[in-house]
């Protein structure tokens, strides 16, 4: 049996400050979310499922498009060496109970985190959770740059990544790298009991190569039934709006495209690092990426393109750093 879920602690940590972070910079970091009994329990259960061979190689999907029936389909997928995962929603309830994973089941079933997010950031109004567990066996295992969804693919709106790595040291790498366009990158260490919550369709991120013997992460995906116009149009970085002429960088519709140009080198590097020896696939992904970048560039005037390449990403200012600072529990 797992101890009862630490509701009071979660309620207190995912509060107003977190809401401010999510709405303004697109992500929030919370430290000491569940306590060590819970993180130990979760980690041991993931290891047990991994040892039982229930985790499968993670895949990244490319070239999403609508098929002739208007349904969204992907062109192809590429697997990432050393990254093993299991989506708990793919296991029937009865089977999940039989697996004897009380901490994971409680995390899946308890609604405290979801309710706290809704209270702190009401624009999202999330109603459903999916959980994916991940065991990264090291040797450079990583994720390429990606958004967790786009609004025409799914109603996934908030992503949480909960890390379970008490022995993490900088040499292990495996940081979550967040790209809060138009600001510069931010690396978040995958520290034990740290939860990072971010906007699923807007926050570009990747996982840096991990060299730890094992890196544990649980991904929480929260869905909405229906989008509120506010949740899709959060302008973010309100302080930056005061700088004349910079508004176009903050437009929710274009931010995503412009970030592909500005972080182009990062994008390529992350693809090369993520897929090991699968050279053909890597070249195909990069060729498509190039096409997309060239297409976006063509839509921009030379002055704007010049400005983007010279001046963006912006250095983190005081306002940014205050909002990006971890919120700490015990
Ligand atoms: O492992 C991580 O830190 C994040 C994983 C991730 O980006 C994902 O599951 O989509
Ligand atoms: Fe992700």
- Say how many Å lie between the CA of residue 242 and the centre of ligand 2: 31
ipTM over 0.90: yes
Q: Is the pLDDT of residue 63 over 80?
A: no
- Say how many Å lie between the CA of residue 136 and the centre of ligand 2: 14
* Residues flanking ligand 1, CB < 6 Å: 132, 134, 143, 148, 161, 176, 190, 205, 207, 217, 219
What is the rounded end-to-end Cα distance, in angstroms, of the chain? 24
Q: Is the pLDDT of residue 233 over 90?
A: no
Ligand 1 atom at shortest distance from the alpha carbon of 215: 1
- Say how many Å lie between the CA of residue 298 and the centre of ligand 1: 32
CA 64, CA 61: separation in Å to the nearest integer? 8
The pLDDT mean for the chain works out to 92
- Say how many Å lie between the CA of residue 147 and the centre of ligand 2: 6
Residue 90 burial by Cβ neighbours in a 10 Å radius (0-12, 13-18, 19+): exposed
> Do residues 92 and 75 lie in contact, with contact meaning Cβ atoms separated by under 8 Å?
no
Over residues 51-69, mean pLDDT:
85
Q: What is the pLDDT of residues 181-219, one digit of tens each?
A: 999 999 999 999 999 999 998 899 999 999 999 999 999
Q: What is the pLDDT of residues 312-322, one digit of tens each?
A: 999 999 999 99
- Say how many Å lie between the CA of residue 145 and the centre of ligand 2: 8
SS3 category, 127: strand
Ligand nearest to the CA of 199: 2
β-pair type (72-73, 76-87): unpaired
Domains of the chain in sequence order: 7-228+318-328 (2.60.120.620)
> Do residues 26 and 238 lie in contact, with contact meaning Cβ atoms separated by under 8 Å?
no
Which of 217, 221, 274 for mutating ligand 1's site (highest number of atoms within 8 Å of CB)?
Answer: 217
Which protein residue's CA is at the shortest distance from atom 8 of ligand 1?
Answer: 219
What are the strands, taking DSSP E only, across the chain?
Answer: 27-31, 56-62, 65-66, 72-73, 76-87, 126-136, 141-146, 156-163, 176-179, 186-188, 194-199, 204-210, 215-224, 327-328
Q: Is the pLDDT of residue 1 over 70?
A: no
């Amino acid at each position: 049996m797992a101890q009862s879920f630490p509701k009071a602690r979660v309620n207190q940590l995912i509060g107003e400050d977190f809401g401010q972070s999510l709405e303004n910079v697109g992500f929030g970091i919370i430290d000491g979310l569940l306590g060590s009994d819970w993180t130990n329990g979760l980690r041991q259960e993931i290891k047990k499922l991994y040892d039982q061979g229930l985790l499968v190689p993670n895949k990244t999907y490319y070239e999403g498009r609508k098929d002739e029936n208007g349904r969204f389909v992907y062109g192809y997928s590429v697997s990432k060496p050393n990254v093993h995962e299991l989506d708990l929603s793919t296991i029937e309830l009865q089977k999940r109970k039989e697996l004897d994973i009380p901490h994971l089941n409680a995390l899946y079933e308890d609604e405290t985190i979801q309710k706290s997010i809704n209270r702190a950031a009401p624009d999202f109004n999330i109603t459903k959770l999916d959980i994916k567990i991940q065991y990264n066996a090291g040797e450079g295992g990583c994720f390429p740059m990606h958004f967790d969804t786009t609004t025409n693919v799914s109603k996934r709106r908030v992503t949480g990544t909960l890390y379970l790595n008490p022995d993490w040291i900088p040499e292990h790498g495996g940081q979550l790298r967040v790209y809060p366009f138009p600001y510069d990158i931010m690396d978040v260490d995958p520290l034990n009991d740290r939860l990072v919550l971010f906007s699923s369709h807007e926050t570009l991120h990747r996982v840096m190569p991990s060299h730890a013997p094992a890196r544990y992460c649980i991904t929480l995906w929260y869905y909405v039934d229906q989008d509120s116009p506010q949740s899709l149009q959060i302008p973010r970085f309100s302080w930056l709006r005061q700088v004349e002429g910079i508004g176009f960088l903050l437009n929710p519709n274009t931010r995503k495209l412009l970030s592909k140009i500005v972080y182009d080198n990062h994008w390529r590097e992350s693809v090369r690092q993520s897929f090991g020896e699968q050279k053909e696939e890597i070249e195909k992904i990069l060729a498509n990426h190039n096409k997309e970048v060239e297409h976006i560039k063509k839509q921009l005037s030379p002055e704007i393109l010049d400005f983007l390449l010279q001046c963006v990403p912006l250095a983190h200012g005081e306002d940014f750093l205050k909002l990006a600072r971890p919120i700490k529990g015990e």
